[in-house]
Amino acid sequence: MTQDIAISSASDLPAAGSTTASRKVFIKTYGCQMNVYDSGRMTDALAAEGYVATEEMEEADLVLLNTCHIREKAAEKVYSALGRLRETKKARAAEGREFMIGVAGCVAQAEGEEISRREPAVDVVIGPQTYHRLPQALKRARTGERVVDTEYALEDKFEHLPDPKKAKAGPRNVTAFLTVQEGCDKFCTFCVVPYTRGSEVSRPLAQIVGEAEKLVATGVRELTLLGQNVNAWHGVDAAGQELGLGDLLYRLAEIPGLARLRYTTSHPRDMDDRLIEAHRDLRMLMPYLHLPVQSGSDRILKAMNRRHKAAEYIALIERIRAARPDIALSGDFIVGFPGETDEDFEATLELVRKIGYAQAYSFKYSTRPGTPGADLPDQVPEDVKTERLARLQELLLQQQHEFARSLIGETIDLLLEKPGRLPGQLIGRSPWLQSVNVDAKSSQIGDIINVRITAAGPNSLFAEVAES
């Protein structure tokens, strides 16, 4: 799942005994949850060097743009931001103050030397597989070297990163992301991930469990496992037995203090029996599944190289729902893929009607340079894509609202995550990932309480504490 978001990375870590304790870093994060996780790990790596994270870019000595290449004109947005940062760097230089600029993430991987050539103010360009080298790259940059490190690392970056501390116990850190898999071997013709994140790589079981245990020890109660193709995760146990994501979920469910598990993003071809069994057996595995289909037309699915048919996807959903009847579905859709006809688009609408989604992400197709889709004939006119997207989103929004309204009167478990806007109000996430507002003066962040849903708004639910 990819969303257009931009957040600043912050930490309550003290400096780690370094001479650079006064330096502050601001990280602006674009894109998916994996970038959010990566920004947190870069913050951890820099904290070990004495950097303190800040939410105010104006007070930072180092600004990192952690970029996403999944949407159209992603690189242009980065260059626009770099232009503004260049002026800040000039002003700081006139004051005799250090101000360093770094570009990380998928645009860094894709553009590499071009970023350094077009924007000389950039000190460091570093890819998603090499950000564990960031402290060393900054040291090199301070000697005057312009560092571009986008080669795929031979070493395991996770072994070189310090223990995660971003999720230190606190009012907003009862949930955490945990990357278990990176890269993709599916080569969908619209997607840049295999070119920017590389081929599929799974983290070892012991490494994942160790990081999960440390996160739980800091107060985390809910973990979301991340991967570009997370259900392709595979590993081996101590006995050398082959494991899949379902097995990993069963193992993580044994960690004392961990209350909830989620994972994203999945591919239909990797939803195996063991993973479906985990949805059946593990109550702590939340009944919410993001499973992109992209199109309801077999002809377009073949052109996308999705390697499944619409009927196969529908049958898979039926199996999952049979195992976990309360599961809610989320998906991704692309409209206007090259060659998409009115009939192809109607097939997508029909699939959406058959499945019924609690939430979904839908986009107009945009060409990604270097992908096979960029060279396909029969590109769909922009006005046609716009009209189709509006129709699809109207249907998806209707289904989202219907699902939310269906919960009114239901009693659910709610993990409280942060304060609300009103005195005594707290906000949590439902098992189906919706934001829920509740007046819970006697509870605190990190509690899981029973609430009764009383109303459904456009983007959130409202609840009252249920009588025990």
CATH architecture under which domain 411-465 falls? Beta Barrel (2.40)
269 by Cβ neighbours in 10 Å (0-12 / 13-18 / 19+) ranks as middle
Specify the domain boundaries for CATH 3.30.750.210 within the chain. 167-286
Specify the domain boundaries for CATH 3.40.50.12160 within the chain. 6-149
SS3 per residue for 203-220: CCHHHHHHHHHHHHHCCC
Phi, psi at residue 427, to the nearest 5°?
-120, 135
- The answer to whether 68 is a known ligand-binding residue is yes
- The answer to whether 215 is a known ligand-binding residue is no
Instruction: Give the lowest-confidence range in 2-6, 443-447, 462-466.
Output: 2-6
Dihedral sign (CA 383, 385, 386, 388): positive
79 with 119: CB under 8 angstroms?
Answer: yes
Confidence at residue 157, expressed as pLDDT on a 0 to 100 scale: 66
Alpha carbons 291 and 330: distance in angstroms, whole number: 6
Task: Show Cβ contacts of residue 280 under 8 Å, excluding neighbours closer than 6 positions.
Answer: 323, 324
Instruction: Give the lowest-confidence range in 4-18, 133-147, 176-190, 401-415.
Output: 4-18
Side-chain half-sphere CA neighbours of 26 within 13 A: 17
Query: How high is the mean pLDDT of the chain?
Result: 89
| 7 has pLDDT over 60 | no
Query: Which residues lie across from 399 on neighbouring strands?
Result: none
Nearest partner of 106 among 270, 263, 228, 230, judged by Cα: 228
Q: How confident is the model at residue 17 (pLDDT cuts 50, 70, 90)?
A: very low
- The answer to whether 341 is a known ligand-binding residue is no
Mean pLDDT calculated for residue range 260-272: 96
Tell if the pTM clears 0.95, that is, is over it. Answer: no
Q: Which CATH class is domain 167-286?
A: alpha beta
Mean pLDDT calculated for residue range 154-183: 70
267 with 186: CB under 8 angstroms?
Answer: yes
Mean pLDDT calculated for residue range 72-86: 83
95 by Cβ neighbours in 10 Å (0-12 / 13-18 / 19+) ranks as exposed
Confidence at residue 3, expressed as pLDDT on a 0 to 100 scale: 37
- The answer to whether 428 is a known ligand-binding residue is no
Alpha carbons 371 and 223: distance in angstroms, whole number: 33
Specify the domain boundaries for CATH 2.40.50.140 within the chain. 411-465
Crossing angle (nearest 10°) for helices 205-217 and 245-252: 30
Distance from the first to the final alpha carbon of the chain = 37
Confidence at residue 71, expressed as pLDDT on a 0 to 100 scale: 65
| 150 has pLDDT over 60 | yes
For 89-102, the pLDDT digits (tens) are 999 999 999 999 99
Two structure tokens written together for 364: 């107009």
- Our CA angle for 153, 159, 160, nearest 5°, is 70
CATH architecture under which domain 6-149 falls? 3-Layer(aba) Sandwich (3.40)
Q: How confident is the model at residue 324 (pLDDT cuts 50, 70, 90)?
A: very high
Residues in the chain: 468
Backbone φ/ψ region at 378: left (φ over 0), alpha (ψ -120 to 50), beta: left
- The answer to whether 427 is a known ligand-binding residue is no
- The answer to whether 282 is a known ligand-binding residue is no
Confidence at residue 72, expressed as pLDDT on a 0 to 100 scale: 61
